[in-house]
Chain A
Amino acid sequence: MALRVEDLRVHYRTMRGDVRALDGVSFELEDGEIMGLAGESGCGKTTLGKSLIRLDERMRHVGGTAVLDALELPIGDDRAMNRRRYTDVSIIPQYSMSALNPTRKIGKLTADLLRAKGRSYRQLRPELVRRLELVGLSEKVLDNYPIELSGGMKQRVVMVLSTLLDPSLLIADEVTSALDVSNQKAVAETLVRFRDLGFVKSMIVVTHDLSLVYQIADTIMIMYAGQVVEKAPAETIVGSPRHPYTQALIGALPEVGLEYGDKRLKSIPGRPPQLLNPPSGCRFRERCPLADRRCAEDPPVVRIADDHVASCWKVTN
C-alpha cells in the first residue's frame, strides 16, 4: 500500500466562512498504481492533489490523515512536510510551463533545487542527462534559460526534474490540458514510462478529461462536490460505472464516431451545490434522476468488488 488517505478534510478560509473543498475523502493507492482523478471544476480534485504536497495559505487541514509508505504525511505542518516533499511526494504543477525560474539556467536551477534537499548536483548530473535524453532532450538544455525552450520542452524538463529523486508518489495536475493533441499523447505516455522505469512508484493524475486519463490510468476515482463518489479500475468506470453521477458524466462525452444526428448526448441538469454550507445527505441528489427520500441521509460507501467502491444508496453489491 503506497498511500492510504482517510477521511481527509481540507477547508478554504473565506470572509463568509469555510468552504469545504474536501469533505471526508478516503481512498487507497497501491504501489505502482496510476490513478486518474477526475471531476468537474470545483469538485476538489486539485485541492486533493495540493493537500498531499503543500497547502496554500488559504487552505486549512481540518481532519483526516494521509499515510505514505507507512509514514504519516504531516499535512497541516508546512515545515515538517518539507522533509517529505520532492523526495517522497512530488508534483508536476498545472502550469508547469511557468514553473521554471526565468532568471536561472536549467542546470543552475536544478543545482539549487538539489542543494536545498542536501543532494549533490555533480553526482546526480549523469542520471539527469540520461533522463533528459529519455524524453528527447539533449544535455544542452541545462545551459539554456527557460525562455529559450518551447512549451513542450519546458513541460518535459519539469517532468524530469519533478521525478529526479525517484519520489514514491507523483501528483500530475492537469499536465496535458494546455497541450495539443499530439503532444498530449506523448506526455501521457511518458508518465506511464516513468512508472514502468521505476522513477516513481505511484501516481495521481488529476484531470477533467476522462478519455485521456482512461488511456493511461489503472484506476479512476471520480469526485463530486468535495467527496469521492466512485473508484474502480479504468475499464469499469468507463464500461460499467455504478454511481449515477459517473454514468451521467460518461454519457455526456462525445466521441469520434458519434454524430448529433444519430444520438443526442444528454447533459446533467443543474449545477453542483455550494460548498460553503453544503447540504446534508448525498450531494448529487438535486441533479440525480434516481434520487428519493433516503438520499437526504449520507450515502453509504458500497464495496461492489475488491477494487470497486461507490457511495450511493442506489448501488447494491
Chain B
Amino acid sequence: MLELENVWKSYRVGALGSKRLTAVRDVSFAIAPGEVLSVVGESGSGKTTIGKMVLQLISVTNGSIRLNGEDITAARHSRRKAYYRRVQGVFQDPFSSYNPIFKADRVLETVRESFFPESKRSEWDGKVERTLLSVGLDPGAVLRKYPHQLSGGQLQRMLIARALLLDIEVLVADEIISMLDASTRIDVLNLLGGLKQRGLGVLFITHDLSLANYISERVIIMRHGAVVEMGATGKVFGDPRHPYSRNLLASVPQLHRKWSDAPTELEALEPDGDRDIAPPPLREVDEDHWAAIGP
C-alpha cells in the first residue's frame, strides 16, 4: 500500500545552511493494509524524519514514496489535501498538539470545515459520536472540554479519532504513547491493534523495543539514518543478526530478567562514517528477515 523506495533525506544545518546532515540514507520498505510496522532506533537515527516525509511535512531529497502505486514524492500543494484524506499522523506530545485556547473538539470540527463542508450538522455529529466511541471515548466526557481538562490518553485517542473521521489508509504514529503513564498507555496501544483489524496500515515510530514487539508484525531497526535490520518481529527480536540489534536488545531493561544475571559484553560497532555514501546493503538472512551484514 505505502511504499518507500531508496529514500534519502539531507538537512541543511549550521549558519546559513553551510553544512549538510544526511538524516535518512537509502531506506526502502512497504506497509501492507492491516499491518503495524514499527520503526525503532535511538535518537538521531532518522526514524522521525521518515514519519515526517511520509506525512509530506518535509520534502524527500532522493528516492520516492508511493501510495497505492501513485508517486507522491513530487506532489504539489493542490494534491496534498487529497493525500491527507488517506494519510494522517499523531505525534508525541498530546498537550502541544492542541491549541490550549480552544476547546479540544475543535480539532474534529476543523476536519469538517476543510474536508466535509457540505455534510449536514446532525449527520456529522452522529459520525463524530460513533468515531469517538470506536476509540473508546465517551463523547459526553470529552466533547466541549478544554485540553487541560482531559488526560493525555484521552487527548491522544481524540487525535486518532480525528484521523479516523477521514477515510485514512495509513496512520503515522510517532512516539504517541511515550508521554503517557503506564496505566493508561496500554489503552492507546491496544487501540492501534484494533485499527489494524479495520485494515489500516500503521507506521509506529518508537524508541521502546518492548512496545514495538507487543504491537507490530514487522519491525525496522535503524542506526545513523540507515536500516540495519528488518523483518518479522519474532525473527528480528528472537534472532537478531546485526551486532547493533544485539546490543540494543541486551541493553533493554526487562522485568524478570536482570542485566547482572547474564552480563553481556557489548559488541564493537562501526563508527558513524561518511553519511553520503550508501549504507551496507541488506541481505536476506531468513524468510522475511533482512540484515545489513556481510555473508
Contact = CB atoms under 8 A, between A and B. Distances in A.
Interface of A: 40-41, 180-182, 184-185, 188-189, 208-212, 214-215, 238-239, 248-250, 252-260, 264-268, 271
Given A260-B190, A260-B214, A265-B186, A255 B248 contact: no
26 contacts: A180-B43, A181-B42, A181-B248, A181-B252, A184-B253, A185-B251, A185-B259, A212-B253, A215-B253, A238-B255, A238-B256, A252-B185, A253-B210, A254-B214, A255-B214, A255-B255, A256-B237, A257-B213, A257-B237, A259-B233, A260-B189, A260-B214, A260-B215, A264-B190, A265-B214, A271-B151
Given A180-B42, A182-B42, A271-B151, A255 B254 contact: yes
Interface residues of B, number: 36
Interface string B177-215: 000011111110110010000000000000101110111
A209 B253 contact: yes
Scoring A182, A208, A267 by chain B CB atoms within 10 A of each residue's CB, the highest score goes to: A267
B258 interface: yes
Contacts of A266: 186
A256 B43 contact: no
B21 to A, nearest CB: 16
A248 B181 CA distance: 13
B181 A210 contact: no
A267 B213 contact: no
B20 to A, nearest CB: 21
B249 interface: yes
A258 B43 CA distance: 24
Given A252-B183, A260-B193, 15 more contacts: A40-B182, A181-B248, A182-B251, A182-B266, A185-B253, A212-B253, A214-B258, A215-B259, A253-B210, A253-B255, A255-B214, A259-B213, A265-B186, A265-B214, A271-B184
Nearest to B43: A180
Contacts of B266: 182
A184 B208 CA distance: 12
Interface string B243-263: 000011101111110111000
Nearest to A41: B181
A182 B251 CA distance: 6
A194 B184 CA distance: 35
A113 to B, nearest CB: 30
Contacts of A182: 42, 247-248, 251, 266
B183 A268 contact: yes
Given A265-B190, A271-B151, A40 B181 contact: yes
B145 to A, nearest CB: 14
A188 B260 CA distance: 12
- 6 A-B pairs with the lowest CB-CB distances in the bound complex, closest first: A268-B183, A180-B42, A254-B214, A267-B186, A40-B181, A212-B253
The secondary structure that dominates the B interface is helix
Contact of A256 (B42, B185, B249): B249
Nearest to B41: A180
Nearest to A257: B213
A265 B184 CA distance: 11
Contacts of B184: 267-268, 271
A267 B255 contact: no
B185 to A, nearest CB: 7
Contacts of A257: 213, 237
A273 B183 CA distance: 14
Contacts of B207: 180-181
Nearest to B196: A260
Contacts of B259: 185, 189, 215
Contacts of A264: 190
B258 A215 contact: yes
A185 B211 CA distance: 18
Contact of B181 (A185, A208, A259): A208
Given A41-B181, A267-B185, A271-B151, A258 B210 contact: yes
B116 to A, nearest CB: 32
Contacts of A268: 183-184
Interface string B55-89: 00000000000000000000000000000000000
Nearest to B179: A41
A264 B233 CA distance: 17
Contacts of B42: 180-182
B46 to A, nearest CB: 14
Contacts of B209: 181, 256
A211 B213 contact: no
B186 A211 contact: no
Scoring B42, B184, B214, B260 by chain A CB atoms within 10 A of each residue's CB, the highest score goes to: B214
